[in-house]
Structure formats: structure tokens, C-alpha cells
Amino acid sequence: MNTHLFLLRFKGIILFLLFVNYLSTAQEKKPVFSGADRVKMFSKQKELAQSSAFKDLHWSYIGPTNISGRCTDVEATSPRGQQYTIWIGSATGGVWKSTNEGTTFEPVFDKMPTASIGDIAIDPQNPDVVWVGTGEANIFRSSNAGCGVFKTSDGGTNWELMGLEKTHTIGRIRIHPENSNIIYVAATGHEWTTNEERGLYKTTDGGKTWDKILKINNKTGIFDVVLDPSDPETIYATSWERMRLKWNDPRTFKDTKNCGIWKSTDGGKNWKQINKGLPEASHRGRIGIDISRSNPKVLYALLDNYEIAYEAEEGEVDSYGRPKEDVIKGATVYKTADGGETWEQVSGLTPETKTYMERHSGTYGWVFGQIRVDPKDENTIYTLGIWLHKSTDGGKTFTTIRDPHADHHGFWIDPNNSNYLLDVQDGGLSISYDQGETWKHPITPLPLAQFYNIAFDYNTPFRVFGSIQDHHSFYGTVDISRGKDRIEPVEFAHTLGAEGSIHVIDPRDNNTVFASVFYGNLARAKVDSYPESTERILPPNYPDEPALRGQWVSPIVMSPHNNDIIYFGTQYVMKSTDKGSTWEKISPDLSFNDPNKFGDINYQTIQTLDESPLRAGLLYAGTDDGRIWRTKDAGKTWQEIRSGAVPQRWVSRIVASKYELGTVYMTQTGRRDDDFQVYIWKSTDFGKTWEDISGNIPVGPVNVIREDPINPDILYVGTDASVYISKNKGESWEVLGDLPFAYVHDLQIHPRDNMIIIATHGRGMFVMDADPVNDKEELLRQRRRYRATEMETEN
């Protein structure tokens, strides 16, 4: 072959490869970052729900009836002698309203395109006009983005989107006390990525148009706002520079420059910083602010102070078992008596109160930042932290109010009767009639439990297990003895695990449970003797070995071929052949193991793991940093199988088919990239190539996919909005049942009782009778007839 011909052929090969690469790239799905796009996509979901063949099927709430979930705000109308109307915003369960002072509540936001609530404001001129800013501003690992500001003019029956869809999270809404057309909205911005829409917005025409009146940069939003009650043109606002990373909490870093307090005296046209007396900008974190109604020159600020209080001792660990960092001063209260010209620290000035304040918010003051001043007494203030705190001497000393649940996020004081307090926390609502001396709670907690997952056993009746954010791991009973359409919700009981845990129950005794306890600390226990029977079962590492990195929810798999075999995911796939007593690593580090992405949150870990029900030792693994792997020989060799149009995204689920050996399903979530695209994949060649089967599902992210245990053509998907079903292996999808907007984090089908179970992150657990879905009895009859025909043919 001459040189010229060789070069032509070589050039042709290169062009062909480039063309193939182009086709592969061209097929990649574009991420969805815009809240406006999400609203449009969700409208398509509503259309699908209305036309679904399964729209009349009912989801039955099963509980827990004794556990609520994180609430973000509470507001009320002051009735002067009548019962209060109370509005509650929840982290991931929408908006709830009570017209009988908290005796009962009704959800009023179920048909909106998000259930994540940042703040609520009631129009002082009309209690039926309520504004809701969507997107929780606390930016937990379990927070979700909103898509703008909504308004009701009829007490919650109907809602109208009023814009600001790209803000993602809202810290505060303030309505002008005399002009209902003037509203201020503090946008804290995206949780995981930068965005230009952070800042303080103002409308003067009731939300038809918005002006950004305070903007700093694409990492800094406005969190809190107060108006001077004696002069509403005077506005105070706090700025917060923050962004959560997959491997770090959203703490203040050395290069932070833009956390502070701002003031305008002309309705937001001009601003000045008023930080005299506060710590340096690099030590300021989230700041909450409130103004005294009885003396508007007096304001208080609750500041997350990053000055070092003392250095951690070597070997100290935090509450999650991680090496402890130097202890910051944390919650610090500042006061101004001159409208913000100067600030003075009032808390933590004695040894006793210094220690007290260090315990106020722990190391995660970025989830609190709320302070309230008694409307009648400028020296009585309340601060919200791990517990509720009260001072009657202007912040010099505090007492702890230990309401039944920790982590407080919203607080309301009746402006006409400051004895009446409403407080919301991770456990729901609490009401006090005596300035916090005593508290009452709704008879039935609001159904807002934030489940991560589901496991079930084969007891009769069967039990469901799951972990709840801000609470613990629990189990409850699903009793179908009176009929699948007469299931009652029940209380749940504690079991092995933590806030984020996957559970595996040994089907041989329905009593041995495996669960991870905070970041992959695997344990085993007996359900009927927990916690006394708890055993930590992972072996310790040698000093020269890398520490095991378990994700917040670390995957556990019991082999369907041998229930003595347990697989567990850290950065490695771990295997035990004796029910967890001894372990071996059967994989290398399957993550990218990037040293620049190690922080105070475990990352670069295995997020999902599965073994083929058809072939022992055929395993699939997906990581939180977007890698996908397969082994056909029980871990001796591993092959990476992300290819084609599959993006590098957090792998939320991998499921090996129980019907076809080479078939495997995978879902990915872009939530931690502020991406709401729908990523659902299927491979029929052991992951060598992948087909997009997201079809007509309009909006993600996607958390789980499952095969039906009866009908091989049926697939189920749980998204951050609903449950979908396909009866043709993913060619097309329909909305399943009458579920309200819900973040569906897990889905299982109990094969014996043919019940679909879902774990929602914000509305608890639900079940549905699968008989009308998969036609179990008819399929079994067909199979019996087929087998009988086969036997006749053989004879």
C-alpha cells in the first residue's frame, strides 16, 4: 500500500469515528435547568394524568401516623377572639391549611409543579390572599428546588404562578402593610450551581412584573428581609453567599466576601451595607434578621459565625462518626439600637452563655438563621436552632424550650397577643398560649415523613421498613385482611438504621435486618429485639488503608441465590458469605476517586447495586459521580459500561432483569446538578449499549425503576413528581393513580400479596392494589393453561 492511499484510508477512518462520535453526542439529552421549563413540563404531566387509563386507581396512605416531617414556615391570621387560620409550608410536602386552629389540616398545594416550600406570606389587607415562595432555602441534602412564586386569592382553592421560576429557592416574602401590590421576594438561588437570578425582587403591580432591586453576584442570594413598620420604605435585607457541593456542606469558606446586612430607605432604589460591629465578611455565614414593632430602631440579627471558638482534639468525631473539625462560634446574636448604623454582640459574652450558644445550632447553622422579636417587648426574642431558644433580656441570656422535636425552621408570634406562638420544626407544628411555657400539638401529625426507601418482609400481615430524614428508621404493618381497599394508616416503630438507610430483611426468619447507620456503617439486628441485638459488622480498616466511604443511603443487596451472601457498597463492592460476619472487597474503587472532591460529605461512592436474579455473580453497580460497572464473575473482573448518550450523572438505580439475562435497567438523577431531565435507560446486552426509554415522561428527576413481578411487560418508575407505569417495556408511559405531587424515592411490589408500595420524600408511604394493574390472577391462569398444554403435548 502506498503512503498516499494509506493516508486516505486513515483519514477516512478518522472521519468515520468523528461522525459516530457526533451521532452519539447528538443523541444526548439536554439538561433541564430552568424552572420555567419545569412548569411547562409539569403541565404535560397533568394532561397525562387526566388521560391515563389508571387515573381512577387509588393510592392508600399507610403512615406513619405518629411521625411528621420538616416544615419550613408557619403563618396565621389573627382573628381577635375567633379560631386562627394557620398556614404551614413544608420542605417537600406542599402547603397545608387549618381553619380550626390546628385541629385538622388540609393540603392546598397538591396540584402545583413543586412541593418544596420556602416561605409563605399572608396579605395584611385580605387573609384569603396568600403568597407562596417555592424552593426550600435551608438547602439540606434532601431539599428540593422550587419553580417560582404562587398566589391564591381564594384561600388556597386556586393558585396562580406569579413568576420568578428561575430562582429555585425563596428565603422570604414581605408584603407592604398598606399596599397589596407591593411585594418583596428574597431569592437565595440554586442549591448546587450558580445562577444569575439570586437577589431581592420587588413588584409594584401585584406580581405582573418584577424588578431585581438588590443584586450581588451569581453565588450570593438574599435570604431574609424585614420592613420598618413605621416606615415601609425602609427595608433591611441579609445576603448569603452559598452553594452546596456534592462533597461539602454549604459552609462559609475563606474567600466568602458577600454575607452581610443591607439597608434601603427609599423602597429599594438605593442600598448601603450596615455591617459595623459584625465579624469580618469571611467569617459571616447565614444571617436571620427581625425588627422590633414596638421600637423599630431596634433590630436583632442571628449570625452563623465562622470565627474559631476552639480547635478540635485529635481523634474527636462528630455525631456522624466523621473526624471533627475545629469548632466555630456558630450562632451569635447581634443587636442594633440605631437602625443598623452599629451592631453590638449581645449573646455569648459570659463563659456560661458562650458554651450555651456553641450548642445552639451545632456545626450546621446554615439550616437555621431564624430570629423573632416579641411585637410588644423589644427585649424578648426567640432564636431557632436545634432547639427553640428564648431571651427576655435582649439576648444576654437564653433559656432552652425543648419542644418534642428538634431543628426549628419557622416561627410566628401573634402581633395582637404575644403569648400566642406557632413553631414548626422537623416534627411538624407546635402551639403555645403562654409564650412557650407549655405546648400543644395536632392530634394527628401532619403526614409529611420524608422516606428515602422501602423494604418489606413476608410476615402476615407484611411489614414495610424505611428511613426518614430528620428522624430515624421505622417499620409499619400493611394489613390487607379486611380487603385491599380498606387499608388503614398505622403508627410506625423504631428499627435498625438511621435517617438515611437501606434495609434488607432475611426472608427466612422475617426478623434479621441489615441496615447502614450513617454513611455506610453497616449493622445487623433482630427486629423483635432492637436495639439490644444491634451488631456493627464491617471490619475495621488497617491504618494504611483508605477509609471506607459510604453514601448517605448506602446500598445493601441480599443475594437471591443464597441468602447468606450480602453485598454492600462503599467505594468498593463488599461481599460477605456468612450473613455479614466476615467480609472481602470484590472490586477496586469504582468511583473517580478525585482528591479535589473529598470533603465533609461522603462522595465518590457506590450509590446503587444489584445482582441478577437469573445468574449468580452477575452484578451491576452505579456511583454517585456517574460511573457504571458490571462484573460477570462475582467481582474478579469489572468493566465500565457507561457509553453512548448516557450522561455522567448520579446513578439513582440499577435493576437487573428477572426475565431476560442480558437486560438491565438504570435511572439517573440530575438533582444535584440542578438538572430536571428524565434519564431512564435499558440495555439488552449486559450494559454494552443503552437505549433511552424515558419516552413520554415529561419531567424528572428519576429516582427508581422496577419490573413487575408478575407481568414481564410492565415497568414502574418513581420520579420527583409521581409514579409512572409502562405496559410495553418502556415504549410509552402513563401516570399511575391519584397520587398528589410527591417525590417518589422508592417503589417495590410485594410479590405474595401483589401490592405496590411507594416511599415518598415528604408525604409518607402509600400502597396500591396491583391486581387491576398486572392482572395477576388472569396471568396465573394463562400460565397454568400453557403448562397443561405443554404437558399434553409431551405426553
Domain containing residue 620: CATH number: 2.130.10.10
Angle at 654 between CA 648 and CA 658, to 5 degrees: 150
In the chain, the number of structural domains is: 1
- Is position 331 within any domain? no
SS3 content of the chain, % helix, strand, coil (to 5): 10, 35, 55
Q: How far apart are CA 85 and CA 104, in angstroms?
A: 11
What dihedral angle (degrees, nearest 10) is formed by the CA atoms of 216, 222, 228, 229? Answer: 150
Strands 170-175 and 183-187: antiparallel
- Is position 153 within any domain? no
Q: What pLDDT shows up at residue 6?
A: 44
- Is position 350 within any domain? no
Q: How far apart are CA 116 and CA 92, in angstroms?
A: 4
Q: Is the dihedral of CA 350, 355, 356, 362 positive or negative?
A: positive
Q: How far apart are CA 616 and CA 560, in angstroms?
A: 8
- Is position 277 within any domain? no
Q: What pLDDT shows up at residue 352?
A: 83
Rg of the chain in Å (alpha carbons): 27
How far separated are the first and last CA of the chain, in Å rounded? 66
Residue 11, Ramachandran bin (φ over 0: left; ψ between -120 and 50: alpha; else beta): alpha
Q: What pLDDT shows up at residue 167?
A: 96
The three three-digit cell numbers of residue 669, written as one number:
438523577
Q: How far apart are CA 407 and CA 142, in angstroms?
A: 14
588-617 CB burial, b ≥16 within 10 A, e <16 = ebbbeeeeebeebbbbbbbbbbbbbbbeeb
- Is position 105 within any domain? no
Q: Are 222 and 199 in contact (CB under 8 A)?
A: yes
Q: How far apart are CA 472 and CA 493, in angstroms?
A: 10
Look up residue 322 and give its amino acid: R
- Is position 505 within any domain? yes
Q: Are 623 and 606 in contact (CB under 8 A)?
A: yes
397-432 CB burial, b ≥16 within 10 A, e <16 = bbeebebebebbbbbbbbeeebebbbbbbbbbbbbb
Q: How far apart are CA 306 and CA 287, in angstroms?
A: 12
Q: Are 117 and 91 in contact (CB under 8 A)?
A: yes
Q: How far apart are CA 511 and CA 593, in angstroms?
A: 37
CB atoms within 10 A of CB 63: 21
Q: Provide the domain limits for residue 513.
A: 448-781
640-646 long-range contacts, CB within 8 A, separation 24+:
641/683, 641/686, 641/687, 641/688, 643/688, 643/689, 643/690, 644/24, 644/27, 644/689, 644/690, 645/24, 645/25, 645/27, 645/28, 645/29, 645/690, 645/692, 646/679, 646/681, 646/690
- Is position 237 within any domain? no
Q: What pLDDT shows up at residue 25?
A: 41
One-character DSSP codes across 551-571 = -SS--EEE-SS-TT-EEEESS
Q: Are 156 and 98 in contact (CB under 8 A)?
A: no
- Is position 65 within any domain? no
Q: How far apart are CA 757 and CA 770, in angstroms?
A: 10
Q: Are 346 and 357 in contact (CB under 8 A)?
A: no
| Chain centre distance of CA 432 | 29
Block means of pLDDT (10 residues each) for the chain, 795 residues, are 49 43 56 92 94 97 97 92 93 97 96 97 97 96 95 98 97 98 98 96 98 97 98 98 91 81 98 97 95 98 92 76 80 97 95 86 90 98 97 96 91 96 96 95 94 97 97 97 95 96 97 93 96 94 90 97 98 97 97 95 97 98 98 98 95 98 98 97 98 96 97 97 97 97 98 97 98 84 67 64
pTM: 0.93
Q: How far apart are CA 671 and CA 308, in angstroms?
A: 33
Q: What pLDDT shows up at residue 648?
A: 96
